[in-house]
A and B are shown apart, each in its own frame.
Chain A
Amino acid sequence: MRIFCSLIVIFIFTTSSAHSDDLDVDLSRPDVQLNVSFKGSELLIFGAKDLQGDVIIVVRGPTKDTSVRLKQKIMGVWANTDEVVFADAPSYYALAATQPISELLSAKDLKTERIGTHNLGLNTIKKPKGATAKIVQDFTDGLIRNMKAKSLYTKETGIVKRVGRQLFRTNLWFPSNVSVGDYTVDTFLVVDKKIESRKTTHLQVHKVGFEAKVFNFAHEHAMLYGLLAIVIAVISGWVANVVFKTEGQ
């Protein structure tokens, strides 16, 4: 994947007139660590550009097949009915730009570059029989609304601030329910409705310390974890009984 990415980068740099050092991007930290006290985290993305122009930053989280269901009222009760499964939907999507994106690039370019939550370009793995494009679009909109409600997709385009003529910066918010994995940060430099330069950086979100140990243990040694959970409960219950009995008398 990384080789593929760098091939694309080389391809772009050799075919476009842009200089490779038009654009530099870095993050305030190379990773987001999910530890016991994690309650969401802010990350600073900053960079410098040589040319006059606008900046668009897109951050995508690890992808996974995501199921969306339609609730319908059946016998007076809201129940899940039709299901659409989207292939490789990003678990996180953030967008920030110096100006509204519709003013920076044509709708066609935004679509090919997958910029904006309405341009995710999702494919379906599973859909109800005879589902029209309109119906699938309703499910797509439903997915985006749900992810926005969880603060996992940006509700509104974030603001990339210019600092002087060359520097720019933006803040990204990672809520406490983010998925672990590899995140890509794509930065585009746009001049006269054309992408002049682009840069891809990576960001890791991972569990550390106690959280990582518990999570890995629960998944790798599920039986032992289950037994341990019971032992902890038994001991706590017994201790509680002993402690409160002596205090009560």
Chain B
Amino acid sequence: MQIYLPIAEISVNIFLILGMGGGVGFLSGLFGVGGGFLMTPLLIFIGIPPAIAVSTGANQIVASSISGVLAHWKRGNVDLKMGYMLLIGGVVGSTLGVWLFTYLKTLGQVDLVIQLSYVLFLGTIGLLMLIESLKSMRALKKGPIKRKHHNFLHALPFKMRFRHSKLYISAILPIVIGFVVGVLSAIMGVGGGFVMVPAMIYILGMPTSVMVGTSLFQIIFVTANVTFLQSVNNFSVDVVLAVLLLIGAVVGAQFGAKAGAKLKGEQVRILLAIMVISVCIKIALDLTLTPDDIYVLGPTGGH
């Protein structure tokens, strides 16, 4: 059954979209990530214009993050103070990101920047995760590993106490992390959990219990900001597409979470790392292999 999307201005198969939402939702439930880094490339792959894919992806992530954060909230796993600091950086970063997105669009370079960001971030994060989880798998046999590092980051000013996370660190750190994630969110159409969670572990040294809840809390507001700004600046949020995706995603996520409970933490991380690297390789190939046509239509044409 085909459905015509009012903003993307193309006709898509409704079951393909629901299935994609379900598949990405399953994986996000399994791995405890938002899944934006899979959803946006998939949307572009089936022919949704990149600008629409990025903005609509952000809108869909608002819904899946709300659904996720509520569960963490009830268990008291959201560090609000940390969340607010991340949010300050996030709102500034995402606003700048949307502005940058609009500017790159006029230069005709937005697709390239989206793809390069994907290769760079997914490649780095994927490799780091793979190495780390392989190491800790080996270390498990020997004994627990130490996670907290003391370096120059702890010498920064504006120190604040984050009771919930049991941390006493500079407020600059979460603000900068929030900022970077905000920019990525606007340009890549992702929540940014895959950048934020490692940053929380390795840079902030947050306990794993509050990590996901706090990251989701920040993602809600940043993706909502992106949705709003993209609607106003680029008219590129397709509500119909977003609703179809999120119906699939919330159902898929429930099954994913059940499947995830049966796997060990280290196994989940290795699988996630492999998936992140695969998406990275796919996009890297698109960038380097000779395209079908070396002449392409610019942003003023096409739709």
Contacts and interface: CB of A to CB of B under 8 A. Distances in A.
Interface stretch (A74-82, A93-101, A163-171): A74-82
B199 interface: no
Interface in A154-193: 176-177, 179
Nearest to B284: A77
Nearest to B119: A77
A85 B296 CA distance: 12
Given A143-B297, A237-B250, A226 B63 contact: no
A211 B4 contact: yes
A216 B112 CA distance: 30
Given A39-B2, A66-B298, A179-B303, A77 B7 contact: no
B11 A64 contact: no
Contacts of B230: 226
B116 interface: yes
B6 A214 contact: yes
Given A68-B296, A83-B108, A237-B64, A230 B228 contact: yes
B4 to A, nearest CB: 4
Contact of A222 (B11, B235, B299, B303): B235
Interface in B234-281: 235, 237, 239-240, 242-243, 246-247, 250, 254
Contacts of B231: 218, 222-223, 225-226, 229
Contact of A240 (B4, B63, B290, B291): B63
B128 interface: no
Nearest to A237: B66
Contacts of B7: 214-215, 218
B112 A80 contact: yes
Nearest to B294: A71
B171 interface: no
Contact of A139 (B109, B295, B299): B295
Contacts of A37: 2-4
A92 B59 CA distance: 32
B239 A232 contact: yes
B227 interface: yes
A248 B254 contact: yes
A144 to B, nearest CB: 10
Contacts of A214: 6-7, 239-240
A64 B293 contact: no
A233 to B, nearest CB: 4
Interface string B60-72: 1011111100110
A176 B3 contact: no
B287 A78 contact: yes
Contacts of A212: 6
Given A67-B301, A83-B108, A229-B242, A40 B11 contact: yes
A219 B250 contact: no
Contact of A237 (B65, B290, B297, B299): B65
Nearest to A178: B9
B232 interface: yes
Nearest to B13: A39
A219 B9 CA distance: 14
B70 A71 contact: no
A241 B71 contact: yes
A149 B292 CA distance: 10
Interface string B82-98: 00000000000000000
B295 A71 contact: yes
Contacts of B237: 218, 225-226, 229
Given A66-B300, A83-B108, A145-B293, 17 more contacts: A34-B4, A36-B4, A37-B2, A70-B294, A76-B288, A79-B112, A139-B295, A149-B293, A150-B302, A176-B4, A177-B9, A214-B239, A223-B232, A229-B59, A229-B237, A236-B250, A248-B254
User: Which 5 A-B pairs have CB atoms at the shortest separation, nearest pair first?
Assistant: A142-B295, A67-B298, A237-B66, A226-B231, A176-B11
Interface of B: 2-4, 6-7, 9-11, 59-60, 62-67, 70-71, 108-109, 111-112, 116, 224, 227-232, 235, 237, 239-240, 242-243, 246-247, 250, 254, 287-288, 290-303
10 contacts: A35-B4, A37-B4, A66-B297, A67-B300, A71-B296, A80-B111, A142-B294, A143-B301, A233-B63, A233-B224
Interface of A: 34-40, 64-72, 76-80, 83, 85, 89, 91, 138-139, 141-143, 145-147, 149-150, 176-177, 179, 207, 210-212, 214-215, 218-219, 222-223, 225-230, 232-234, 236-238, 240-241, 244-245, 248
